[in-house]
Every structure is written in C-alpha cells, then in structure tokens.
Amino acid sequence: MNSPPDIPQTVTITCPTCGTPLHPDVTKLARKIRCHDCFVAVPVPSLDEVLKQQAKKRPRKREDVGTYRVLSDEKDDSSQPAPTLAPFTKVICRICNARLHPEVREKAYQLPCPDCHEPVDVPALKDVPQEPLRKREPRKIGSYKKDEAIVRPKLQTSYLEVQAEIRREVIEPPPRWTFFSGVFTFPCRPGVLQRWGLLSLGFTVLSLLIVLLIMLIGGGSSFGVVGAAFLGLPTIWIMLWSLSYAAACCLPVVTDTAAGMDRIANWPDPLWNEWMAQLLYLGYVGCEALTIGYGVSAIAHLFGLPVWATWTATTFLLYPIFQLSSLEANSFLIPVTRPILRSLVSFWWGWLMFYALSGMLISACVGLAVIGRMWSPMLIALVLGPMVAATLLIVARLLGRLAWRIVAAAQAEGRRLQTTQMLETASKPKATDAG
C-alpha cells in the first residue's frame, strides 16, 4: 500500500564528522546509522520530527509572470535603429592636454585629471550631442552570367618540371687497370687492415681446431674421440663467427666498389645477429649455384667426367653471376637478370679476367692446404688463416670492380642512346622545312 504523497520516504542528513550526505529511510522512531565513509554513528530523526521540520519551511511564493502576445507586422519596429545616448564623452584637460572619456550625467560635474590631478569640467547630458547609429548599407555583389566561363591564369610549371626531373648520380669511370689497380694491396689499406686481422685470427683458430680434430679422430684411440667431442662445439661456434663476419665484410666491399667508391664506407657494425643475416643471404645464393652445379655434374657423369671437378667448376662459374644478379634486382629470389646476362657477351673479357684472377687465388689456398696436410699441418694452418682472409677480401674487390665496369658501360650506352634521340628529334623540323 503506497503512503500519502505528503509523507516523505527518505530524509537527507549530513555526517558531522566527514560531511558526507546520507539518505536513509524515514521511520516512526528515531535511530542511528553508520556513515559509509567514516563509519561514525549518525542520528536519523523520526517521522514526526521530519514532518515538523517541513511545516516550519515557508512555501515558495510564485512570481506572477503576466501574459504575452504576438506583435503584429504593422507595429513591428525592430528594423528601425533605436535612439542611443552617448553614455561617455571626450574632454581634454586644459593643463596637460590629456584625453579623458568620463561618464555623462544629468548635471555637469568635475573630476580630477589622472595625470596632473587638476579639475576637469564634464558637460551635462543635455549639452552632449547625440550621435545616431550608422545604417550599414548592404554590400553590392553584382551580377554574373550563368554560361560565362571563368578564365583562370595559366600556371607556370617550369619550377615543377625541374623538381620532377629524376636525377641520377653518374658513377665515375673505373680506373684503366680495373682488376689490378689497388686490388691485391686492398687488405693492407687503412680501415681494411684491422678487418683483415680479425678475419685472419678467426680463420687461423678455425684451421688449428680443424687440424686438431682430424688428428684426434685419425688416431683411433678413445681419448681422441672424447677430445674431439669436446672440441666439436667450439669449432662450430668459431666457424659461424668467422664465416658470418667474412660475409658481413665482403658484401659491402662488393656493393661500395660497384658504386665507384675507392674507400669502403659501409663496414658492418659489431652485431653478430646482423652478420648472420648477411651469411644466410650469401649462403642462399651459394646454394642456388651448388644445386645447379650438382645437376650439371650428374649429367656430366653420364659422359664419364668426374663429378667433384664438374660440380666445383660449375659452382665457381655460376656464383658470381647469381650474386651480381641478386644485387642488381635487389632480391635474393632472382638469380639471373638481363643486364648481367648481357654483360657476359658485351664485357666478356672482364668476366674472363675476373675468373682467371680469382681462380688463381682460390687455387693457391687449396694447394697450400693440400701441401700442409702432407708436410706440417699446424704450421700451414697458421699461414692458411691470413691467406684465406686476404683471398676473400681480394675476390670481393675483384667482383666489385667487375660490377663497376658493367655499370659504367651501361651508363655510357644510356647516354649514347639519349644523345641519339635528341639529335633525331632536333633534325625532324629541319627535314619538314626542307620538304
């Protein structure tokens, strides 16, 4: 059953400790409740006390707002400017000529000047001329024809044409003795010598560990097998470090030399994880050459040719082609590109020179390793490490010089074709005039 509307259901009280407003239910008897913030007992008045407090409150008297009506259009004078009085006027001090803007009153009065503090007379309201409001004339927008075309000025595009021109850096021509000038002394240059030293250290330690592993395993004793097992893991780690650092050093040698740079600027940072990425890249290109080389050797074996010799020769011939093609295409997934294949015919003597020089260097390393196996393996391992490191740097330099020659020849051919087209374009109007 609902209670009458004049009986309140709740009452608003304030906690005397924290000032939190509370809204408990109104009951017939007075009681106490706990504040939900400070947990202090707060008294709640009874229903009779609440009704007495409401009776003491004065009822709010409603103001009479009157009535209103809609103004007719005939009596609408909202468009007429209302007369205005000048609430302020301008007076000038007779002593210091200061400009004052005092309030205008019904009677004249005086006020002190803020600069010289002398009394200044302010005229009465009736003596101040009234200034009527200025009527703002509507702006003339003129007229226009519907079918009239808008004539726009022609924009000058000469600046944009110059900015849109594709500028290509022209690589300087390679030296006359491309495959000999500064190539074989490249490891001894400043900036390269320390890299050669680190590579030599890595390959020397790797060679010594490999020789030691071969001696331990070849002995046939149980001690040798245990020693080889302990040396196997360090050998793998040193091999990965040496090969990854060699890949990270040789790749910028090829790219910077191909760009016409005599000094290498993009040497690798001392981050082993980035070296591994370079090693995987070069290893993938090498696997492509090895795969095709194995297929060629399998076919050559049918004709009685040795498999290992054919496989090695084919891989040696294909790897430089695949490497330059992947660099030219900027993708390791493209093993062969048209410019590199075209250079095999147009620049055959450069390829022949590269294969001859790099083949002699690699053959010297292989021959030294074979001789060391029969003579003094430990002594030859000490010499073979720096020799392998120098061979890798020199072969990378030779490959970069070969790419430099190919790029320079392509640029010269492009300039020749551009000149021919310009001459043909310039000669066409002359032939028309003559006709």
Q: Beta partners for 124? A: 105
Three-state secondary structure readout of 347-385: CHHHHHHHHHHHHHHHHHHHHHHHHHHHCCHHHHHHHHH
What pLDDT, in 10s, does the model give residues 302-319? 988 898 999 999 999 999
Phi, psi of 69 (to 5 degrees): -145, 160
Q: Which of 57, 121, 131 is nearest to 94 (CA)?
A: 121
**Which residues in 52-65 are b (16+ Cβ under 10 Å) and which e?**
eeeeeeeeeeeeee
Q: Which pLDDT value is given to residue 274?
A: 80
What's this model's pTM, rounded to 2 decimal places?
0.57
Phi, psi of 145 (to 5 degrees): -95, 145
Low-confidence ranges of the chain (pLDDT < 50): 1-3, 5, 430-435
Residue 227 CB contacts under 8 Å (≥ 6 apart), including other chains: 216
CA-based R_g, the chain, Å: 50
Q: Which of 191, 392, 147 is nearest to 282 (CA)?
A: 392
Instruction: Write down the H helix ranges in 220-347.
Output: 222-258, 272-302, 307-329, 338-346
Q: Which pLDDT value is given to residue 38?
A: 85
User: In angstroms, how far apart are the furthest CA atoms of the chain?
Assistant: 134
Q: What is the DSSP annotation of 96-115?
A: T--EE-PBPBSS-EEEE-TT
Whether the CB-CB separation of 268 and 248 falls below 8 Å is answered with yes
